């Protein structure tokens, strides 16, 4: 018999990113290809305003739930197959939602880029989610889908071309236009604040294998200062999202039983260009990274205009190096700004993919790529403006 539960509840739909997710679902999945979805947040009146602004059907269900009200969260979770939450920083507002989903067997998706909190949730709820059947999937936006799936896509093609995966991959952001989200900046601030009060978090934040409990791989490149990349003949600069993306790539390898090998090495940098100009650009990027945690930039709930989102993009190169010196290059391109336009489409398609295409995925705490792999790549390519390409070396 058909379930009376919602397929998806967008929790945080009155926030900037949550509104974009709801708008995407209303436009893409309210007609022939329909899913049963609802909007949730702290205020019914604000939800109603958002519903009307985005042009969602008037009968779109609205659910009042505050992150601090555990009874309301349990009630919300009981009404749906999947909770898609944009309410961050997750270390401040996400723990009870994850617990409720894990206990109820309800799927959970977020945009988290907070590795210390993610490890806390893995330790606390992975076994519970395995028992209940809840699929808990973190980092379903720009951090870390293009990177995690980019490595996965490269390795799948390396198996075809070389007969095996490669032990070393470099992720290099070649071009990017658009801002990181205000939620990302808020998460960084919350993480720094938590680490200043609990020094044990510092070691966890520095550990590239912080999301692979019981497994420690080889030493990884630090990626914390400008460097000249001999393979690409260009200067590279530290990439601010590497701290979360590299952890998720290693967790994917861990969850899939190490198809990339137990000695796999992965790092991420931004391409700055050749020569003295490239070196100067790389140093300037370091300064820009340091400003991310400051008060400048968008606040949570704020973001760029539609024109700014639509004119944004990103272009990421992945360089795979085989043990015998052969190389394979893959790229991932996105057609909107990374922090908002592309992220909102990615997490929405993750939700639909998990529900419709990945019924075989068992409960536990997952990464998007380890859970959905090629099925998610197909959906993102067809619907979310991403492209995955093998490039000629």
At 194, is the secondary structure helix, strand, or coil? Answer: helix
Per-residue model confidence as pLDDT tens digits over 56-70 = 999 999 999 999 999
Instruction: Verify that 212 and 238 share a domain, yes or no.
Output: yes
User: What is the mean predicted confidence (pLDDT) over 223-245?
Assistant: 93
CB atoms under 10 Å from CB of 247, counted, come to 27
Q: Is the pLDDT of residue 100 over 90?
A: yes
User: What is the mean predicted confidence (pLDDT) over 292-321?
Assistant: 82
Is 373 contained in some domain?
no
CATH code where residue 68 lies: 3.40.50.720
Instruction: Verify that 289 and 302 share a domain, yes or no.
Output: yes
Average pLDDT, the chain: 93
Identify the pLDDT of residue 22.
Answer: 98
Who wins on pLDDT, 84 or 178? 84
Q: Which of 49, 47, 58 is nearest to 9 (CA)?
A: 47
The answer to whether 72 and 66 have CB atoms below 8 angstroms apart is yes
What is the domain count for the chain?
A: 2
Calpha distance 94→250 (Å, rounded): 23
Out of 83-87, 300-304, 313-317, least confident range? 300-304
Is 196 contained in some domain?
yes
Instruction: Verify that 26 and 164 share a domain, yes or no.
Output: no
CB atoms under 10 Å from CB of 219, counted, come to 8
Is 135 contained in some domain?
yes
Per-residue model confidence as pLDDT tens digits over 123-153 = 999 999 999 999 999 999 999 999 999 999 9
Instruction: Verify that 24 and 117 share a domain, yes or no.
Output: yes
Instruction: Verify that 110 and 207 share a domain, yes or no.
Output: no
Instruction: Verify that 134 and 275 share a domain, yes or no.
Output: no
User: What is the mean predicted confidence (pLDDT) over 208-236?
Assistant: 95
Identify the pLDDT of residue 203.
Answer: 74
Per-residue model confidence as pLDDT tens digits over 148-199 = 999 999 999 999 999 999 999 999 999 999 876 666 667 667 776 776 777 6
User: What is the mean predicted confidence (pLDDT) over 232-261?
Assistant: 96
Instruction: Verify that 192 and 122 share a domain, yes or no.
Output: no
Is 372 contained in some domain?
no
Instruction: Verify that 207 and 86 share a domain, yes or no.
Output: no
Instruction: Verify that 114 and 199 share a domain, yes or no.
Output: no
Q: Is the pLDDT of residue 1 over 70?
A: no
Structural domain containing residue 291: 145-337+381-391
Instruction: Verify that 266 and 279 share a domain, yes or no.
Output: yes
**Global pTM value:** 0.94
392 burial (CB, 10 Å; 0-12 / 13-18 / 19+) is: exposed
Is 310 contained in some domain?
yes
Is 366 contained in some domain?
no
Is 374 contained in some domain?
no
Is 129 contained in some domain?
yes
Identify the pLDDT of residue 194.
Answer: 73
168-177 and 313-321 as β-strands: parallel, antiparallel, unpaired? antiparallel
Q: Which of 30, 136, 161, 133 is nearest to 84 (CA)?
A: 136
Instruction: Verify that 24 and 87 share a domain, yes or no.
Output: yes
Per-residue model confidence as pLDDT tens digits over 307-365 = 999 999 999 999 999 999 999 999 999 999 999 999 999 999 999 999 999 999 999 99
Q: Which of 296, 194, 286, 276 is nearest to 228 (CA)?
A: 276
Instruction: Verify that 316 and 235 share a domain, yes or no.
Output: yes
Identify the pLDDT of residue 182.
Answer: 67
């Amino acid at each position: 018999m058909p379930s009376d539960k919602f397929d998806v509840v967008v929790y945080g739909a009155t926030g900037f990113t949550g509104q974009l997710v709801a708008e995407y679902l209303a436009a893409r999945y309210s007609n022939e290809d329909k899913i049963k979805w609802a909007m949730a947040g702290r205020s019914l009146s604000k939800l109603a305003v958002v519903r009307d602004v985005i042009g969602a059907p008037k009968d779109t269900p609205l659910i009042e739930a505050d992150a601090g009200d555990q009874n309301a969260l349990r009630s919300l979770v009981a009404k749906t197959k999947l909770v898609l939450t944009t309410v961050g920083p997750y270390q401040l507002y996400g723990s009870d939602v994850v617990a409720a989903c894990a206990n109820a067997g309800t799927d959970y998706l977020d945009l988290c880029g907070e590795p210390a909190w993610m490890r806390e949730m893995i330790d606390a709820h992975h076994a519970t989610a395995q028992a209940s059947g809840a699929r808990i999937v973190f980092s379903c936006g720009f951090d870390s889908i293009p990177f995690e799936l980019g490595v996965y896509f490269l390795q799948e093609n390396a198996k075809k071309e070389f007969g095996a995966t490669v032990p070393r991959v470099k992720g290099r952001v070649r071009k990017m236009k658009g801002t990181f989200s205000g939620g990302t900046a808020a998460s960084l601030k919350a993480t720094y604040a938590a680490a200043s009060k609990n020094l044990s978090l510092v070691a966890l934040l520095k550990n590239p294998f912080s999301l692979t409990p019981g497994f420690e791989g080889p030493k990884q490149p630090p990626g914390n200062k400008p460097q000249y990349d001999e393979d690409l003949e260009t200067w590279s600069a530290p990439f601010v999202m590497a701290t979360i993306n590299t952890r998720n790539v290693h967790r994917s390898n861990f969850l899939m039983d190490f198809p990339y090998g137990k000695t796999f090495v992965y790092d991420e940098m931004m391409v700055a260009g050749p020569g003295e100009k490239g070196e100067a650009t790389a140093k300037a990027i370091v300064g820009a990274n340091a400003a991310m945690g400051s008060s400048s930039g968008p606040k949570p709930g704020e973001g760029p205009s539609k024109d700014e989102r639509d004119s944004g993009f990103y272009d990421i190169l992945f360089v795979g190096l085989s043990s015998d010196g052969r190389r394979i290059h893959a790229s991932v391109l996105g057609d909107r700004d990374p922090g908002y336009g592309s992220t909102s489409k990615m997490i929405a398609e993750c939700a639909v993919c998990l529900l419709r295409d990945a019924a075989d995925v068992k409960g536990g705490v997952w990464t998007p790529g380890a859970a959905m792999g090629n099925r998610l790549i197909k959906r993102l390519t067809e619907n979310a403006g991403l492209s995955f390409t093998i490039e000629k070396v």
